[in-house]
Amino acid sequence: MKFMVYNVRDDEIPFVEKWGKDHHIEVKTTTTTLNTTTIQDAAGYDGVSGLQTIPYSQLLFAEFKKLGIHYLALRNVGVDNVDLQAASDNDVLVTNVPAYSPESIAEFAVTMALFLTRKVGYMQRQLMEQHKFHFAPEFMGRLISDQTVGIIGTGRIGRHAISMFRGLGAKVIAYDKYPVKETNGEFAYVKDLHELVSQSDIISLHMPATADNFHLFNHELFEMMKDNAILINTARGSIVDTQDLIFALESGEIAAAGIDTLENESADLQDSRSTKKLTDPDVIKLSMMPNVIITPHSAFHTSESVKNMVSISLNNLKDLVAGQKPDDLVN
């Protein structure tokens, strides 16, 4: 067996190398994005591991078939950027890593909420832009324990977020098309999304991207939110209409936003060696707002997550080549 690992980051390399040595399997790494051109470098390999937010297209899977490669193991959860039908049509089995560390993402969402409720961005702006360092009335924040937190999506990550917000004393309500049966009294489901949005002081998104929730958070929904509300998105960028979010922040429809993922993310976002300067006008505009924290799709990024993403992905490849059916098969 031998595997090719694309989009590898520097922090992943030690875990990849250790896995290869432990399992006596040749594993080659490359920092390049997986596309119809770079897939040629995997000729002669038994399987491919990938991590990217840009599409895995029909044309790419056609190249897989030409090269006789039948296995793609993602190192992430989301498959919304994967043409799964094209993968199946070209005899490519795809796996993901559905739970590499849900605590990591949930913890980051809570971190963003604390940053924004305590007005840390305003303190930083005073210091960095005005070179002043003193108390100001506009720094007055709110206690999490005085607020209602709305969680959208009560899967693994959402339930960890609920537990953490509850630990800070918040009242938690939730909405999910497929609610869990047992809430253990930690939170209450509301009947629909509009009810959650109108009641919540903090809204944290924890659902996958689907065709049904594209731009779910748009001008109409922002108007329903409280004017002191905070939106946290550590899920998928396509769920939020970026232009409508910027308008909502500038007009005061909502108070603040924590954004870890944006729509139309580029390949450079996951390239730790990139030297390109930021040019996206939306990211620049959001980054200049003291009531916004924006990060480069990094909520997952802990040592525990990286280790699990690498090892689970490569274990899935090993099982597939051995003729076994991994639990993480998605097509």
CA atoms within 13 A on the CB side of 256: 25
> Which of these is catalytic: 75, 236, 253, 301?
236
> Which of these is catalytic: 160, 206, 297, 301?
297
Would you tell me how many other CB atoms lie within 10 Å of the CB of residue 306?
21
> Which of these is catalytic: 160, 253, 265, 301?
265
297 carries an active-site annotation: yes
Look at residues 259, 203, 206 and name the one whose alpha carbon lies nearest to residue 77. Answer: 206
Q: What is the DSSP letter of 329?
A: B
Instruction: Give the residues across from 256 on adjacent strands.
Output: 230
Rounded CA gap, 151 and 164, in Å?
12
Is residue 270 within 8 Å of 101, Cβ to Cβ? no
Is residue 152 within 8 Å of 196, Cβ to Cβ? yes
Quote the crossing angle between the two packed helices 156-167 and 102-117, to the nearest 10°.
40
Is residue 104 within 8 Å of 206, Cβ to Cβ? no
- What six digits make up the tokens of 181? 């049966």
Would you tell me how many other CB atoms lie within 10 Å of the CB of residue 327?
9
Rounded CA gap, 106 and 103, in Å?
5
Is residue 97 within 8 Å of 328, Cβ to Cβ? yes
Q: Which amino acid is at 301?
A: H
Q: Are strands 47-50 and 2-5 parallel, antiparallel or unpaired?
A: parallel
- Mapped onto helix, strand or coil, the DSSP state of residue 137 is helix
Q: How deeply is 237 buried, as exposed, middle or buried, from its count of CB atoms within 10 A (0-12, 13-18, 19+)?
A: middle
- What six digits make up the tokens of 38? 């770079």
Q: For tokens 């731009």, what's the residue?
A: 215
Quote the crossing angle between the two packed helices 303-321 and 13-23, to the nearest 10°.
40
Q: Would you name the residues annotated as active-site residues?
A: 236, 265, 297
